[in-house]
Amino acid sequence: MNKLKQTKNIIITKPQKLDCGKEISNFPISYETYGTLNEKRDNAILVFHALTGDQFASGKNPITNKDGWWSYALGSGKAIDTEKFFVICANVIGGCMGSYGPSTIDEETGKPIGTNFPVITINDMVNAQYNLLEHFEIDKLYAVIGGSMGGMQVLQFVSNFPDKAHIAIPIACTSSHSAQNIAFNELGRQAILADTNWKSGFYEENKISPDKGLAVARMAAHITYLSKKGLQEKFGRKLQERDDLKFSFDADFQIESYLRYQGSVFVDRFDANSYLYITRAMDYFDLSKQFNGSLSAAFSKTTSKFFVISFTSDWLYPTAENREIVIALNAIGADVGFVEIESDKGHDSFLLDVPDFLDTLGNFLKTNYKTVNEKRI
């Protein structure tokens, strides 16, 4: 984790009151930027990452040496065009890529904070990242964009800061985590807690880590990111480097081998405690509850133009849940566009090469940037 020292950080000195009641201050936020902030400082986009994402949205991720998680959508000439826009992406608090989280070293003890880290919420994540606007002296963002948990942060952001973004694009998300969502997250957490290496969250000081539990959590979650059709087409019942079944519990099928691989590479880049904290934050997310059951009320002061996007084969955050956001916005006459993109790549569609999605997103950002500028003149 020494490479983490190379990430860009700001230290938030201002105290922040968390939803759990605790107050934090002097904590780090790690971030990355892409493109150049123009003179008018009006071309900034804040991108929020999903559960296992990080600040390295584009280019090479220096920790994994792989392409950034949103390389298909973000970069020079891409949908979120860094020739035009200045993009900021920060690691959420609770994360493990340099921002304040359970693997941050507690200065008093010299040990990782572990499960002494407070339970945080999507609201806490958004409030922490809001400090970046001040840091970059940006009065108003051109856009806030995010998929999955990133989309939840978009919704929370416009609710908390109704006049701080011209455009809001929540993608493949929900305004309230469903029982099914919570159930899958609980499955992942239980896999981690069941690993004897977890040690109530204080594993790092013992120089061990609950890799097996975390890998199982990732494997289970990974299934929820894909569609049945996509899995069937890619893997079917194909066997893994063998001509016949081996009558054992080896990975006979390609899908088994694939999931095991996904689990094993995940543990190299992700912290088990962060997985617990971030999934908890997602489960606690219920924007309408914050406004006495009225989702419309969450957006009553907003001036943003919304573009809600869902995918046909996403069963984790299905179209119906995305549509609820649209309905709530329509009920208050907000400016909201909505489309469900055809794709058999499941929830992960927003991360993958889905041309209809990327083209529409790109054109939407480009066209509206012109309009926003014209209005200002």
Give the Cβ contact number of residue 24 at 10 Å: 18
Smallest distance, other proteins to C-beta of residue 286, A = 20
Q: Which is nearer to other proteins, 27 or 364 (CB)?
A: 364
Smallest distance, other proteins to C-beta of residue 75, A = 20
Among 240, 335, 344, 373, binds other proteins (CB under 8 A): 335
Among 326, 351, 354, 358, binds other proteins (CB under 8 A): 326
Kindly determine how many residues on this chain lie close enough to bind other proteins according to the rule CB under 8 A: 24
- Name the nearest CA neighbour of 102 among 350, 275, 245: 275
With contact defined as beta carbons under 8 Å apart, do 304 and 158 qualify? yes
If binding is defined by CB under 8 A, does position 339 make contact with other proteins?
yes
Which of helix, strand or coil describes residue 265? helix
Smallest distance, other proteins to C-beta of residue 369, A = 9
CA dist 291 → 16, 125, 160, 294, 337 (Å): 21, 19, 12, 6, 23
If binding is defined by CB under 8 A, does position 67 make contact with other proteins?
no
* Residues identified as active-site: 148, 314, 347
In DSSP notation, 298-335 reads: HTTT--PEEEEEEETT--SS-HHHHHHHHHHHHHTT-E
CA dist 1 → 56, 62, 80, 265, 272 (Å): 15, 11, 30, 15, 14
Beta strands 16-17 and 23-24 are: antiparallel
In DSSP notation, 17-61 reads: E-TTS-EE-SEEEEEEEES---TTS--EEEEEP-TT--S--SSB-
Stretch that binds other proteins, among 17-25, 29-37, 53-61, 336-344 (CB under 8 A): 336-344
Phi, psi of 318, deg, nearest 5: -65, 165
Stretch that binds other proteins, among 230-238, 243-251, 283-291, 325-333 (CB under 8 A): 325-333
Q: Which is nearer to other proteins, 270 or 350 (CB)?
A: 350
Restricting to residues 276-305, name those near other proteins by CB under 8 A. 305
Among 250, 320, 331, 353, binds other proteins (CB under 8 A): 331
Restricting to residues 345-374, name those near other proteins by CB under 8 A. 356, 359-360, 363-364, 367-368, 370-371
Among 64, 176, 262, 330, binds other proteins (CB under 8 A): 330
Smallest distance, other proteins to C-beta of residue 335, A = 5
If binding is defined by CB under 8 A, does position 307 make contact with other proteins?
yes
Q: Which is nearer to other proteins, 106 or 356 (CB)?
A: 356
Q: Which is nearer to other proteins, 9 or 360 (CB)?
A: 360
If binding is defined by CB under 8 A, does position 162 make contact with other proteins?
no
With contact defined as beta carbons under 8 Å apart, do 282 and 92 qualify? no
**Block residue for tokens 């000081």:** 205
**Block residue for tokens 């006459």:** 333
Q: Which is nearer to other proteins, 141 or 354 (CB)?
A: 354
Q: Which is nearer to other proteins, 69 or 364 (CB)?
A: 364
Q: Which is nearer to other proteins, 220 or 339 (CB)?
A: 339
If binding is defined by CB under 8 A, does position 196 make contact with other proteins?
no
| Helices 122-135 and 149-160: angle between axes, nearest 10 degrees | 70
- How far apart (Å, rounded) are the C-alpha atoms in residues 293 and 278? 24
Binding site for other proteins (CB under 8 A): 305, 307, 326-327, 330-331, 333, 335-342, 356, 359-360, 363-364, 367-368, 370-371
